[in-house]
Amino acid sequence: MEELNQEQWAIDAKGLVKVFGKNRAVDGVDLKVKKGTIYGVLGPNGAGKTTTIRMLTTLLKPDGGSAEVLGYNIIDDANQVRQRISLTGQFASLDEDLSGMENMVMIGRLFGFSRREAKKRGEELLTAFDLFDAAKRQVKNYSGGMRRRLDIAASIIVSPDLLFLDEPTTGLDPRSRNQVWDIIRLLVKAGTTVLLTTQYLDEADELADRIAVIDHGKVIAEGTSGELKASIGSGKLHVRVYDPEVRAHAAQVLEQTIQTKVLLGTDPLVLTAQVSDTKLVSKALLAFEDANINISDFSLGQPSLDEVFLTLTGKPADDQTKEEAAG
């Protein structure tokens, strides 16, 4: 990666710091995002994701560090940066009182299109995003998914070189979420670099070429989703026995097979374990049969964000919303 020359980075941030009062919301974040890729910033509420995005999009001045976005310094060349990026904020960056089309025309005009061109572009994008029928309705009457799509449509009126999506699927139903994912994939195919933040590991896993895990304003892990998973184990094994009497025996058998510590759940029938090698899991199933232990449930889950945090930080990903509110 390091040998890439400067022009290949869409974002090159070094040691970004932002302090709100006593709270170091962003505490020395380094990010390198390659052009033409999707980069995921993963972390719980209040980890500093939004603040980082606000600095990279020139909305906030960093208190320390520096960043180049598409080769332009975010402080000295803020206007150059603004001409090339687009932001879809966590809360819809739309005028809720206006209709979908009025939003598109207004933003198109501000980008420098004539009224006629802005209208044409608005129609084109609303149609593509399946919003044409709702074009004349006020945005406040849109569903969450429609709002998100309109927000993204507004962000690409002039196709940006780099698009920031701040939690693009938080609060969406699964169908809308898939639609947004499809749109993001198409954007990248068309040559736009995307930086997205998310609280969901599966979203980062599904979309991002590389992921930075961020907590308390610091990047605590970075890599492809494969690399990250390898570092935290493949997931959590969940076993449920029929009879609480045999749980202790089952735990012993399981511990021997998968060679990791087995935890006893509060439910007297449940056993859990963090698994690093999935091959051993299938052996465990056989081992139970050999030991004559009947089980009612045997499942291997993807590591959750909580587990990622537990592994990376040694503590659960507690909700840090309060700190954010204070900032």
Determine, following the binding rule CB under 8 A, whether residue 69 of this chain makes contact with another protein. Answer: no
Determine, following the binding rule CB under 8 A, whether residue 287 of this chain makes contact with another protein. Answer: no
- Convert the chain into a string of H (helix), E (strand) and C (coil): CCCCCHHHEEEEEEEEEEEECCEEEEEEEEEEEECCCEEEEECCCCCCHHHHHHHHCCCCCCCEEEEEECCEECCCCHHHHHHHEEEECCCCCCCCCCEHHHHHHHHHHHCCCCHHHHHHHHHHHHHHCCCHHHCCCEHHHCCHHHHHHHHHHHHCCCCCCEEEEECCCCCCCHHHHHHHHHHHHHHHHCCCEEEEEECCHHHHHHHCCEEEEEECCEEEEEECHHHHHHHHCCEEEEEEECCHHHHHHHHHHHHHHHCCCEEECCCCCEEEEEECCHHHHHHHHHHHHHCCCCEEEEEEECCCHHHHHHHHHCCCCCCCHHHHHHC
- Site residues for another protein, 122-161, by CB under 8 A, read 124-125, 127-130, 138, 154, 156, 158-159
Identify which of residues 183 and 213 has a Cβ nearer to another protein in the complex: 183
Determine, following the binding rule CB under 8 A, whether residue 168 of this chain makes contact with another protein. Answer: no
Identify which of residues 138 and 234 has a Cβ nearer to another protein in the complex: 138
Quick one: which segment of 20-28, 93-101, 225-233, 317-325 binds another protein (CB under 8 A)?
93-101
Quick one: which segment of 27-35, 121-129, 281-289, 316-324 binds another protein (CB under 8 A)?
121-129
Tokens 């004349």 correspond to 136
Single residue of 112, 244, 265, 301 touching another protein by CB under 8 A: 112
How many degrees, rounded to 5, is the angle at CA 223 between CA 220 and CA 224?
Answer: 140
Determine, following the binding rule CB under 8 A, whether residue 174 of this chain makes contact with another protein. Answer: no
Identify which of residues 57 and 257 has a Cβ nearer to another protein in the complex: 57
Q: How far is the CB of 116 from another protein (least distance, A)?
A: 12
Determine, following the binding rule CB under 8 A, whether residue 106 of this chain makes contact with another protein. Answer: yes
Q: How far is the CB of 202 from another protein (least distance, A)?
A: 21
Tokens 């420098």 correspond to 112
Quick one: which segment of 19-27, 92-100, 228-236, 297-305 binds another protein (CB under 8 A)?
92-100
Single residue of 26, 47, 94, 281 touching another protein by CB under 8 A: 94
Identify which of residues 35 and 240 has a Cβ nearer to another protein in the complex: 35
Determine, following the binding rule CB under 8 A, whether residue 119 of this chain makes contact with another protein. Answer: no
C-alpha neighbours within 13 Å on the C-beta side of residue 303: 27
Determine, following the binding rule CB under 8 A, whether residue 95 of this chain makes contact with another protein. Answer: yes
Determine, following the binding rule CB under 8 A, whether residue 35 of this chain makes contact with another protein. Answer: no
Residue ranges that bind another protein, judged by CB under 8 A: 57-59, 61, 79, 82-83, 85-87, 89, 91-98, 102, 106-107, 109-113, 117, 121, 124-125, 127-130, 138, 154, 156, 158-159, 182-183, 186-187, 189-190, 192
